[in-house]
Structure 1
Amino acid sequence: MSSSTIPATQYLSLPGGRLAFDDTGDDTGAGPGSTAHGAGAPVLLLPGMLDSRTVYRHLRPLLVAAGHRVITLDLRGFGESSIAWDDYSPAAIAIDALALLDHLGIERAVLAGNSYAGASVVKVAGLAPERVAGIVLLDAFIENLPQNAFQRLTVKALGAALVRFPSVWGYYLRKMAYPTAKPADFEEYVAGLVVALRTPGRKAATRAYAQGDSSPVGWSEAVSCPALVVMGTKDPDFPEPEAVADRQASALKARKVMIEGAGHYPMAEFPQATADALVPFLRELA
C-alpha cells in the first residue's frame, strides 16, 4: 500500500451504535489475524475526545512505511461513528476496542490512545492482557496530577462553554493545542471538527466527554504489558507535562519520550518525531 493512500472507511455495528474505522491490513493483502508485513502485532490508534481518527493522518503513513498494519478508530459520537450512545466513558471505549479486534480476527495488538482515550488503552491492557502486546500513551490524562478546587472549577466551566459554543474548541486547537508547528492542512482540519460539533444531536456526546472522568484512579495497577509514554513538552492541558509523564511512566513501568515543542497532539504536530518514538518500541515488541 502506498504511504499516501487513505484506507477506505469501514464500519462495525454494535448493539449501541456503529463505529467507523480504517485498516491498512485490507490493502496489504492481510487476512483475518494477519499482522501485515510480518512486523509484529497490528497497531490500533484511538483519538482523543471530540476528535476523529484522521488526527493520525500524518503518523499512519510513517508507521505503514515502517512495515506495520495500522488501524484507526473513531470514538463513539464523533468522526464517522454514530452519535447517540448510552455510554461515552473510557471503559466503554475500551470494550469497543476489544470488539474491533474480535471483528478483525486480531488476537494481539498494540494499542495507542491520545488524551481521553489513554485511559481506554490502559483499561484494555488490564481487562484482556492476552490481547495486548503493548500500549502507548500519547499526551494521555491517566495518572494526572491531582487538581485543586480552582482547577476543577475551571475545567467544569470550560466544559460547559464547549457544549454551548463549539467555537471554543476551534480556539483551543488554533491557539493552544499546537504551539509550535501546524500541519499544512491544519485550518481545514480544525474547521471540520468545529462544524462536527454543531451536528444535531452532538451536544449530548460533547457534554458526556467534557464531563467524563478521563483520569480514572487505579487502572494502571492491572497493566503488565510493555508501555511507552509520549508527551509534548508544551502540552497546554498540563501545567507540568513532564511531571505527568513521569507519573505515568512510574505507574506503568514504562519508557518515557518527551517531544520538544509539541502540544497535545504530537502525532499531528510532529508526526516524524512521534514515529521515531513509536517505531523502536514496536520493533522491540515484535
Structure 2
Amino acid sequence: MGVRIVPGPAELPPVVLLHGVTWNAALNFHQVVPALAGSRMVVLMDHRGHGEGLPGAGPYAMEDLADDVVAVLDELGISRAVLVGFSLGSLTALQVAARRPDRVAGLVLTAGCLAMAPGRVLRAALWIMTWLLSALARVGAGHMIAPRYFGLNRRAPSAEFARAWPWIRRQLEANDPRFLAPAVRAALGHDLRPQCALIARTPTQVVVHERDALIPAALQWRMARELGADVVSIDADHEAPLSHPELYRDAVVAAVAALGATDAA
C-alpha cells in the first residue's frame, strides 16, 4: 500500500493525510507536508486505485476505504490519529470516525460533506463521469481525463503553477483509470447523516471552500453545524490544493493546530 511517513514527536497523535479522487497524497498535500513536518508525525496514504495504493479493480464502498485506513494504523502501530481529508479523503475520514471512533483523535475535513447528495444535475454529471472513466479506460485512453480537466480548470493561474504543472500532470497521469470510476461510485453512496451524533463526539475542524462547484459550500457549512465543528473559511474552489496551494496549506495547518494535543497517540 502506498504509505509514506514523515517522522515527528511521539507526544502528539500522528496526522494521516487522505487525498481526493484522481489525485494522490503527495500531490494533494504537497504544500501541507513541509508545513507540518517536525510538529507531528505525518502519514501520507494513497487510496486504493490511486498512486501507489492497493489495486482498486471492482466495486467497493466508502466503508472499504475506511477499513484501509484502520489497516494502515494497525500496521504502523498507531493507536489513534488525526485524520486530515480532502474531498474523497474527507468522506473516508468521516467513515473511519463513524466505524472506529476509538482510532480517531481528531478530524480536519476539507471540501467534504456528510452526504454526497448534490442537485440532480450535478449528480447526473458525476454518474456520467464514472461512465466516461470506465469507457475510456477500456480503450486505454483514461489517463488523460484528470490532467485535461485540471489543466483547463486552473482558476488561479500563476507562474508557480506553471512551473509545477509538469510534475502535477505526471502525478495525475500515474493513476490507473480503470480504478477511478469505482471511487466516484463509492463517494456517490456516501451518507453518514444517521451517524452524525456519533461522529460529533470527535473534535473536528472544517475547512470550507466557499467557491466549491463540486461539493457546494452550503453542504460543507451544514456538515460543520451538525458536527459542532469550528470552521476555517477559504475563498477558493474545490481544487484549492492546486489552484490556491498556500491558502489551502495555511488553512489546514491552522485547523490541525486548533485541534491541539487532543490526547496522546
Fold match by TM threshold 0.5: yes
- The equivalent of 1:234 in structure 2 is 211
Number of equivalences: 249
Equivalent in 239, 244, 259 of residue 264 of structure 1 = 239
- The equivalent of 2:183 in structure 1 is 209
Cα deviations by residue, 1:77-133 (Å, 9 ceiling, x for unpaired): 111123244554221111111111111111111011111121211111122222111
RMSD value, Cα: 2.5
Contact 1:113–1:121 (CA under 8 A) maintained in structure 2: yes
Q: Deviation at 1:221?
A: 3.5
1:152–1:266 distance in 2 versus 1, CA, 3 Å:
same
Q: Give the distance between the partners of 1:228 and 1:181, measured in 2 at CA.
A: 28
Question: % of aligned pairs identical?
Answer: 23
- Comparing both structures, which one devotes a greater share of its residues to helix? 2
- The equivalent of 2:95 in structure 1 is 123
Which residues in structure 2 correspond to 1:179-198 (within 5 Å)? Answer: 179-180=155-156, 183-184=160-161, 186-197=164-175
Q: Give the distance between the partners of 1:252 and 1:187, measured in 2 at CA.
A: 36
> 1:22 is matched by which residue type in structure 2?
R
Q: Deviation at 1:284?
A: 5.2
Q: Deviation at 1:63?
A: 0.8
Q: Give the distance between the partners of 2:86 and 2:239, measured in 1 at CA.
A: 8
Equivalent in 56, 59, 63 of residue 29 of structure 2 = 56
Q: Give the distance between the partners of 1:174 and 1:220, measured in 2 at CA.
A: 36
Cα deviations by residue, 1:245-276 (Å, 9 ceiling, x for unpaired): 21110221111111123433437723442244
**Equivalent residue of 1:190, what SS?**
helix
Q: Does 2:4 match 1:22?
A: yes
Contact 2:16–2:81 (CA under 8 A) maintained in structure 1: yes
Q: Deviation at 1:233?
A: 2.1
1:154–1:236 distance in 2 versus 1, CA, 3 Å:
same
Contact 2:17–2:84 (CA under 8 A) maintained in structure 1: yes
Q: Which moved more, 1:118-127 or 1:217-226?
A: 217-226
Q: Give the distance between the partners of 2:256 and 2:157, measured in 1 at CA.
A: 22
Q: Give the distance between the partners of 1:95 and 1:59, measured in 2 at CA.
A: 24
**Equivalent residue of 1:213, what SS?**
helix
Contact 2:91–2:187 (CA under 8 A) maintained in structure 1: no
Q: Deviation at 1:144?
A: 4.4
**Equivalent residue of 2:214, what SS?**
coil
**Equivalent residue of 2:156, what SS?**
coil
Q: Give the distance between the partners of 2:92 and 2:237, measured in 1 at CA.
A: 22
Q: Give the distance between the partners of 2:249 and 2:173, measured in 1 at CA.
A: 28
**Equivalent residue of 1:229, what SS?**
strand
> 2:238 is matched by which residue type in structure 1?
G
Contact 1:180–1:263 (CA under 8 A) maintained in structure 2: no
Larger RCO (CA under 8 A, 6+ residues apart): 2
Q: Give the distance between the partners of 1:37 and 1:81, measured in 2 at CA.
A: 26
TM-score by length of 2: 0.83
Gaps of 5+ in 2: 137-141
